[in-house]
């Protein structure tokens, strides 16, 4: 006798609709062995077998329908521009969570990961770090140990204002100034406290950057990278290039978990993408030897009206029609 509990016709029809529309789904279910589990993917089939009903995801995994606690669209506010990239992001976020190496829910974020400090420490052993006096770093949580190490090592640190919502869209931090203010470096390295205690600067006030650190959802050993889909890292780098603050040979690095490294075929580079020179994980440092040409600066044909509306500095920099 089967222990399967039949699901409602409405629920079954909803799953069928997701499959028909090829909707990227986020599914939370109670696995009898693994416990509460989360999966992301497109439903390709809903079927009956062995006196129970199942769904099959695009990656081949199968979930019994009466295990499911919730199912919905796996979307973020930046989803919808590139379906393949949306799917890859969802797969990486799901993989990190299932492997229990994500700190907090990774979905929709540059994922914080177990071993982020070890990755930052490994980055600090590289010549690109040791030779750098000025570092630009993203504001996300997994790079907090990188920002802290930069301050501890006496480097000038620039952190982007989240979402570039300020005309002065970078914050400058130095250990010297923070110590004068009696602000602990561990406190100033967090995004929120950096915005409070750092000095917001314009591009004209910034010094040339020796090393760029970006946050990533997925990377390839060939230098490909993908963020959470908002495009802020590419915009920041393009603007820094426009003002002469980064050069074609300025190294670009990231710290990620090893599970965020994907095959190159899954993440092809495009002309507007900025390639990575180094990928640093808790276990290894990978020099990508990328041959991808870095963009020349802002590509106004790719700037969306919504970006112009929400990012003040873009409106100031926009050339006259």
For the beta sheet containing 52-57, the strands, ordered from the edge strand earlier in sequence to the opposite edge, are 62-64, 52-57, 35-49, 24-31, 68-73
Tens-digit pLDDT profile for residues 164-217: 777 788 999 999 999 999 999 999 999 999 999 999 999 999 999 999 999 999
Q: Which of 158, 148, 150, 143 is nearest to 184 (CA)?
A: 148
* 8-state DSSP, 8: P
In CATH, the number for domain 116-317 is 3.40.50.10420
Tens-digit pLDDT profile for residues 245-285: 999 999 999 999 999 999 999 998 888 889 999 999 999 99
As annotated, the residues of the chain forming the CATH 2.30.30.100 domain(s) are: 9-98
105, 107, 109, 113 alpha-carbon torsion, rounded to 10°: 50
Q: Which of 117, 97, 116, 119 is nearest to 107 (CA)?
A: 97
In CATH, the number for domain 9-98 is 2.30.30.100
* Tokens 């750098």, located at residue: 132
CB neighbours of residue 285 within 10 Å:
16
% of the chain at pLDDT higher than 90: 60
| 0.85 exceeded by pTM | no
Q: State residue 82's pLDDT score.
A: 63
| Chain mean pLDDT for the chain | 90
**Of the candidate ranges 72-81, 123-132, 183-192, the one whose mean pLDDT is the lowest:** 72-81
Give mean pLDDT, residues 88-108: 88
Tens-digit pLDDT profile for residues 2-38: 789 999 988 988 899 888 888 888 898 999 988 888 8
Q: State residue 34's pLDDT score.
A: 84
Give mean pLDDT, residues 102-117: 92
Cα radius of gyration (the chain): 22
As annotated, the residues of the chain forming the CATH 3.40.50.10420 domain(s) are: 116-317
Q: State residue 25's pLDDT score.
A: 86
Q: Which of 91, 3, 7, 92 is nearest to 50 (CA)?
A: 3
| C-alpha–C-alpha distance, residues 166 and 221, integer Å | 34
Whether 225 and 274 have beta carbons less than 8 Å apart is answered as yes
């Amino acid at each position: 006798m089967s222990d399967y509990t039949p699901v409602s016709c409405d629920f079954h029809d909803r799953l069928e609709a997701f499959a028909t529309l090829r909707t990227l789904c986020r599914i939370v279910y109670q696995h009898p062995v693994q416990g509460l589990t989360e999966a992301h993917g497109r439903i390709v089939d809903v079927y009956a077998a062995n006196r129970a009903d199942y769904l099959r995801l695009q990656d081949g995994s199968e979930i019994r329908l009466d295990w499911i606690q919730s199912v919905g669209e796996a979307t973020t506010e930046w989803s919808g521009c590139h379906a393949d990239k949306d799917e890859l992001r969802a797969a990486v976020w799901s993989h990190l969570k299932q492997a229990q190496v994500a700190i907090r829910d990774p979905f929709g974020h540059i994922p914080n990961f177990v071993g982020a400090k070890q990755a930052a420490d490994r980055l600090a052993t590289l010549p690109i770090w040791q030779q750098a006096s000025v570092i630009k770093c993203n504001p996300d949580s997994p790079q907090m140990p990188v920002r802290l190490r930069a301050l501890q090592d006496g480097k000038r640190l620039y952190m982007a204002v989240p979402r570039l919502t300020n005309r002065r869209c970078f914050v400058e931090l130095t250990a010297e100034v923070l110590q004068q203010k009696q602000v602990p470096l561990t406190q100033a390295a967090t995004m929120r406290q950096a915005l409070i205690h750092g000095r917001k600067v314009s591009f004209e006030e910034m010094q040339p950057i020796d090393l760029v650190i970006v946050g990533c959802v997925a990377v390839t050993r060939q230098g490909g990278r993908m963020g959470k889909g908002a495009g802020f890292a590419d915009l920041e780098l393009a603007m820094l290039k426009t003002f002469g603050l980064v050069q074609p040979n300025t190294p670009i690095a990231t710290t990620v978990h090893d599970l965020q490294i994907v095959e190159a075929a899954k993440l092809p580079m495009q002309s507007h993408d900025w390639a990575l020179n180094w990928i640093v994980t808790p276990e290894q440092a990978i020099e990508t030897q990328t041959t991808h040409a870095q963009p020349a600066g802002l590509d106004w044909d790719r700037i969306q009206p919504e970006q112009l509306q929400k990012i003040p500095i873009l409106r100031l920099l926009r050339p006259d029609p």
